Structure 1
């Protein structure tokens, strides 16, 4: 969120406190709103225009704020901006209401509900909008919320209730709320006199008469209330029906549902079929213990007669669920469902038509015509959804949404009878790192491979699945299902493996422990192969990798290992594989560091840190990681000075993932340009947490071990002492120095001694374009003692961003 502009916000704030709206406009209105990027200033300008009733100008300012923050998180705004600077939301809603843009206004006021009872206009204008749109029950709900939560705006609530009564005099509960609001205002008698005056000016007017009668009734003057009702004597049947409803409401309070029903039945004969003022009252009766048994049947008939098939369907389903043998209700339900399906077809609403068809097959499984229609609708809906998802994937879409789309497409393709390759292709794309459906996609992939007999591939996929952080219930259920599936295919070894995994997690889960034991004994008792064992020897790494990867190409080789690019055949993605050469596996300490690399990096989920996918500690040893299509920073710079403007952006991008790692208490310990990958689009990925140490624990790197790359090592690292995140800051400083000057500060001679005792040459001597503030930042990173450096990467980031 952009908040700060060059204007004197304190001056604007003082004017705001003084309610000097003209001066605020004079100060801020000199420039068009689009030249401001401070939401606070724009909010105050919108308030000033609104206070002076300059609604068009207020709307223009609010729309500019919308461009700055198109999808605001109102809960976060409440903390960061404070409610004062959020007034523009309510102002925009009110102005849109005044302009007749009801839907946009209602959307704004609805979103304001998340901030609790603040911004009382959300009740008032939402109620008025619902009244205008004929959503009278929703309007009543909003005005009731206003009475409950905004006592200082009772007058507005009463005004809104009056508008609702004028629009629909028969609305249920409205008169009880009006009495409560008038009483809460402390001016009940004053409002009663006002309404009596209205009635005197328009004798027989139903809204005024019902307001007077209801206030008298709730005051206890029942005779006076009845006298007013008798004087109204409307000629219109609907108004007569509303009078009957009001009498029923009064009887309900005194005599319960049995006393109210005769009045409601009288109203039924007068009102149009399915009239909501009656239907809603009868639905409220259903929640009362004294309601009669036939009310729901009456509701179903009224709703069907009024053309509200969905409402009729709900009531008939409830009757059939309670009384399965009620043939009349079941017949009516079938008729209503067919009406719903036909109406939905006519409106081209296949979702609704499909829902009705599905219910028909549920309640009438022998109805072949309904089953065929349901199947036909489902196929059309699936086809439409498939096209919609494919269009979505063809455009710009965030990775998480793309993964979900591919997962859904895999299911749709299966329904359409697509081949396994097509389905697997979608599942592979759904199973990418950080996908919200990764676990589900992997599980489906394992099922497909298992069904077609690719047992080793299925097992590999399941191993990936169970390496994830799963809900324990899913781990147990899915593990047991996998074991059963392998056992059913005669694959006893993987079956025993997954039964044992489940039993280890929960010894009492079904019969997993017993099955694991039985299969284990069976495997031990099985006759061993009599063929001579193959002669022991080194494993060919390429041949081993080819079991799961293809397209294997060597990218680079060093004394300790070789890096390959390959394609994961299971997950269909490019990967980098770091194969470890030599006798690392025979050295427990070195092996521990190797495992630490994977554990440290795998725990860090950040777009600026290369993701670890897999690790193998047996021969051949390797780590599988994210393939970065780019070059190392060392290869890109290669002794050249980086332009200062380019350096500033790059330095921030390098620091951000490192700050994230330090917050997770992971120290890199080998930062250098070759361990910074720059993607083709300019992104940065930090690689090789090979010497990383998890801070706060005993660690695996002991005092006295010198680990790292000498040109970039901190003095404390050279001494073999304990290190923390400030050692990485020193290495960053060396890197930054090199990027700005084209060379590291200490390149010849006793490098270790120079790092520990000599000050680096000033950067500006080698690159005059480097400003003193930037030079000071880099040289502070290169202080000999950790206490003199920045104390965190976050602190360094703040300094770099302030300079940029």
Structure 2
């Protein structure tokens, strides 16, 4: 009984015509069957097969398979494939579709897709065992070198539960001479190979070679067995027989060898053999890749070097002929690295680069004229074009102009453009213009890695131009970021050796031009101090000259100059005046000369009364308050930096100098680090962001403690640890004459946490002054 018409109005006619087509097909009357099928397709030209299977039933859809078969037999493979592939939506039904599709692929020598059809048929229609087996043997007969054929054959037996019968059945086929004996014998050998039964396979293969001496397949399989067994010399002998019998099989050998080449412990004989095959087959990229790996482990191996040279020469020739000039250049550069002594390669590189540049410059110039470019694209093309002009050496002015255009933009190439402009100006001797571009680079945010690379290029360029002071400046900036960057320390040592005597001579000449009655009065690890008279103003001055080894902290020097500028306008009576700062040769500072002694010197002679301390402390606070008001933190308040003049006025000196010497001290590997007697806990921890005005209050507290007791609160053992963790002893216990209110004031200055101290120096000053009016006349 027919199903209700849910699909097509001509359903009855389609069923009737399908049955007629089936009858004609049985009678092998394909011409009439074709006409009937076409009539059905006129009634339903684009059928949905899944819906048809519901409405018609599968048995009334046979006309599809019949039409596909007719197309196949008439050689209309495209039409046949279309119909047969559509039938795959019905799964296992009409299984002949797989066989016909496989045969079409065979006709086209597309063995891979033919195998896919039989693989799919094995999954969908395993009951068609014999048809699948015959199809696989047909493919093996056409090309016995396809490994997948044997794997599918083995899988077919396994899926049908007949794996145990696989070898016995094929042994019987060989003995009876069924099918094509040579093909069946080769299949049995390969089955032994797949199952790992190498002795049985080898025994058969040796007889196979005797019986069929022109069959390359037997030698190839024997080579694969020897390869897997680690018998590499024997494998190569067999592979050479294959090549002699059938040179087209080199790629099959390569496939076998590649599975082994990925193993780092592979035998060099086999790898070398594979490289030779790659070269013979013009698979140069693969050869280069393996040789790269070999030369990485054995860079001095002459054989590998020669082979790499051979490969690279071929790649250069082929890429040049294909007009792939960038690729060609990369391979010549690799050749030069391999053979640096070969001048021909260097000449070849220059010629190809010039050719490439001549080719690209007009292309890039035309691109720039396009109105469709956005800003990023235009800047990228400008930069690349400028680089081409620079490399070609044809129009440097045009290159600089293009770089300048990029340097004015927000392009990602802005820093590189500034660097190229600066280096070009430096080469031309336009030093100020060069420094201007270099300084712009330093103001831009880039990663430390990129900043170091740029600074290094700049410093080396300055060094080559004998601009030693500038080279030192930029090398110094590098050291402030990374003390161990490349060879910067060595380069600085060499420059220092070259320039030290010259710099000292030039420095003294400079000082002698401006000052007279020059007398050396002190020398420490960092500074040499002179007393002198200004020739023009006839006033006494002190000149502090930084030593050569301590001038490589450019950020600190810049900061010191800024802080000096801030304070110079204050004219505070208790801050020592700085008249001049010179950084042209060696840094030296010209400052006010004071008739008086440091608190350190006075303390060696006497202990201050608490009334004297109260008066001095108030004056120190006033000086520090002025500095803090201008955003300047002293960082090194201690008795050495405070002087008491003959008229009993206080002078505070050393503002900003700590920054200059702090990094330099780290650079001196042989120098013993000074104990942090006067440093605040946050300074000892070295966390820059935690250091503010309250750090100076702590250091002043230490200074007052020493003035009142004759010693600092922490003077033996682990000083740094005690500053951070241990409270100081009460001053009044050290000296009962010290009032308890003064004791409390000093101890509040010495709070471990900055929040526990006076929050501003003015708060401390006011409290001291409130007591001063009662105790000081």
TM range (shorter): 0.3 to 0.5
- TM normalised by structure 1 equals 0.38
Larger radius of gyration: 2
TM-score in terms of structure 2 length: 0.39
